[in-house]
Every structure is written in structure tokens, then in C-alpha cells.
Amino acid sequence: MLLEIKNVTVRYERIEALKSVSLRLNEGSMIAILGANGAGKSTLIKTISGLKHPIRGEICFFNQRIDRLSPQKIFALGIVQVPENRKLFPRMSVLENLFMGARALKKKSVLKEELEGVYEYFPILKQRLNQQAGTLSGGEQQMLAIGRALMANPKLMLLDEPSLGLAPIMVEELFHILNKINTSGTTTLLAEQNALKALQLVEGAYVLETGMITISGIAEDVAKDKMIIEAYLGG
Ligand SMILES: Nc1ncnc2c1ncn2[C@@H]1O[C@H](COP(=O)(O)OP(=O)(O)O)[C@@H](O)[C@H]1O
Ligand SMILES: [Mg+2]
């Protein structure tokens, strides 16, 4: 088991944003966390990456407790987050942004190899290397945010709503690339409001509703669930 979340409860001052959430993720697989705005998707991702700590429950990564570790330690273990709204350095070039992704790892020697890997997935980034990140289109910025994460050679990539604000055709292209990245060995956890699209991409899915997992299973079954269809797929 690559990641195991056991009965995790997370609070902000006033509210319990996650209520006894449990989840399992096998090495090599790709799953989705689905849910409406405010359901707790970002909180779950931030709790895995160490930006929030649970008040109850545990998170294990390759059977090691990580829920008390700092974000830096968790990053060093190979868990890399692609944050909501990309969080690029808009005044820096595409290349500088990519290097930022690997910076904390401090191993300069293999960076060339990582860069080539990123260009293979996102050839458009290679054409834009010296352009300021802030001048890229929304889709290209999302590609850069994912490319930056890949520079760290993640064992687990956490994506927070990568499809947000993108045109359907761009979402299609992006998800196709995410599938390739996963197929070549990167375990992926994808938080999405876009349930219809996400369920076509992932193996399994968990549905969060106001901080609780209400439905989980293989993607095919979740897609058939009546509640999901009504809530997200407009059925
Ligand atoms: N920094 C914060 N302080 C207080 N409440 C927050 C904070 N961030 C999120 N919340 C609340 O936690 C709940 C879950 O939010 P979030 O995890 O961002 O959901 P989602 O990503 O699914 O939209 C919401 O009720 C939200 O208002
Ligand atoms: Mg969110």
C-alpha cells in the first residue's frame, strides 16, 4: 500500500473540514477525490502534503506515519503537490519555474534527464522556455505546474483541480497526458469537481460531501451511482 489514510479528522478554527476520512491508494494507480466546492478536497490534499495536520487519525506512506511531518520532509519522501490555481512564479520564466520544482532536492546532475521527461509530456513548454510563466495560457500554466511537480520525480503526485477554468478541449488533452504520466509509473491522486471527466480517467474514486466520504469504489461503479449522476453529471 503506497498511501493509507485512516480515520483522519481535520479542523479549521470553527469547522471540521474532514470527518474521519479513510482512503487507500495502491502503488501505480490513479484515483479521484470528487466533490462539490467546499467538500474538503483541497483540505485532504493539504493534509497529505503536510500543510495541515489532522487532529485525529493517521496517514501512512509506504507504512511510515507521515501525518506529523513537515511539508519539506513529506516532499523529500516523494509526495509532490500540484496546488489549486497552479501557484506558479508568474514573473519567472518557464525554465526557472521548472527548476524550482527540483530545487529542494538539491541534486543538479539528473536535472537534464528530468527536463527531457517534462518536454516529452509537454512539448509546448520546450518552445516557451524563456517566456514568463504569467504570460502562458491557462492550459499551458497547468502543464507547467504539472511539469514542475514532475521535476521532483514524485512517487505520489497530488493534483488539486487541474481542470479548473480550462476549456473542455484543453481538459481532454491534459487528462490524456495525466493518463500517460500515470501509466509510466507515477501514482496519482486527483481532486476534481469535474466528476464526469475524472471518472473516465481514474481506476477508483471517493466522493467527499461536507468532509465525509459518502461513496467509494471502482470508477465504473461510482459513475453508475444514482446520487453521483444527479449531483454532478446532470442526469
Ligand atoms: N483556511 C481556512 N480556514 C477556515 N476554513 C477553511 C479554510 N480552508 C477551507 N476552509 C473550509 O473548509 C471546508 C473545505 O474546504 P476545501 O478543502 O477548500 O474544499 P474543496 O477543495 O473541496 O472546495 C469549507 O467549508 C471551507 O470553507
Ligand atoms: Mg479546493
Whether 188 lines ligand 1, by a CB cut-off of 6 Å, is no
Asked if residue 101 and residue 74 are part of one domain, the reply reads no
Domain check: are 168 and 70 in the same one?
A: yes
Q: Does the Cβ of 167 fall within 6 Å of ligand 1? A: no
170 and 142 part of one domain: no
Do 68 and 173 fall into the same domain? Answer: yes
**Confidence at 126, pLDDT banded by 50, 70, 90:** very high
Find where cell 479528522 sits: 9
Rg over alpha carbons for the chain, rounded to the nearest Å, is: 17
Is residue 83 within 6 Å of ligand 1 at its C-beta? no
Q: Which residues make Cβ contacts (< 8 Å) with residue 128, sequence separation at least 6?
A: 94, 136, 140
Give me the phi and psi of 216, to 5 degrees please: -150, 155
Residue 113 pLDDT level (bands cut at 50, 70, 90): confident
Q: For residues 188 and 29, give the distance between their C-alpha atoms in angstroms, rounded to a whole number.
A: 6
C-alpha cell, 164: 479548473
Same domain, yes or no: 149 and 171: no
Pick the residue whose CA is nearest to atom 27 on ligand 1. Answer: 38
Residue with the bigger pLDDT between 10 and 229: it is 10
- Distance (angstroms) between ligand 1 centre and the Cα of 75 equals 22
User: Residue 160 CA: which ligand 1 atom is closest?
Assistant: 21
Cell of 15: 469547522
Residues 139 and 207 in one domain: no
What is the 83 CA–ligand 1 centroid distance (Å)? 14
228: Cβ contacts below 8 Å, ≥ 6 apart: 34, 195, 207, 215, 222
Distance 105 CA to ligand 1 centre (A): 30
Q: What is the pLDDT of residues 29-83, one digit of tens each?
A: 999 999 999 999 999 999 999 999 999 999 999 999 999 999 999 999 999 999 9
**CATH number for the domain harbouring residue 173:** 3.40.50.300
Q: Is the pLDDT of residue 235 over 60?
A: no
Which ligand 1 atom is nearest residue 45's CA?
A: 17
The reply to whether 69 and 170 lie within a common domain is yes
Q: Taking 90 as the threshold, does the pLDDT of residue 162 lie above it? A: yes
C-alpha cell at 97: 519555474
Q: Is residue 104 lining ligand 1, measured as CB closer than 6 Å?
A: no
In tens, the pLDDT along 135-148 reads 999 999 999 999 99
Q: Could you tell me the distance, in angstroms and rounded to a whole number, from the CA of residue 141 to the centre of ligand 2?
A: 18
Tell me how many domains the chain contains: 2
Last residue of a domain, one of 153, 173, 206: 153
- Domain boundary among the residues 137, 153, 169 is at 153
Q: Give the burial string for 209-233 (b: 16+ CB within 10 Å, else e).
A: bebebebbeebeebbebeebeebbe
CA distances from 181 to 44, 76, 113, 154 (A): 22, 20, 15, 11
- The residue segments making up the domain with residue 23 are 1-78+161-235
* Ligand 1 pocket check for 227: Cβ under 6 Å: no
Which of 122, 118, 127, 77 lies closest to 98 in space, CA to CA?
118
Check whether 26 has a pLDDT greater than 70. yes
More confident call, 235 vs 139 = 139
Res. 100 pLDDT band, cuts 50 70 90: confident
Do 6 and 74 fall into the same domain? yes
Does residue 97 share a domain with residue 60?
no
Q: How far apart are CA 132 and CA 92, in angstroms?
A: 5
**Domain endpoint, select from 126, 153, 180:** 153
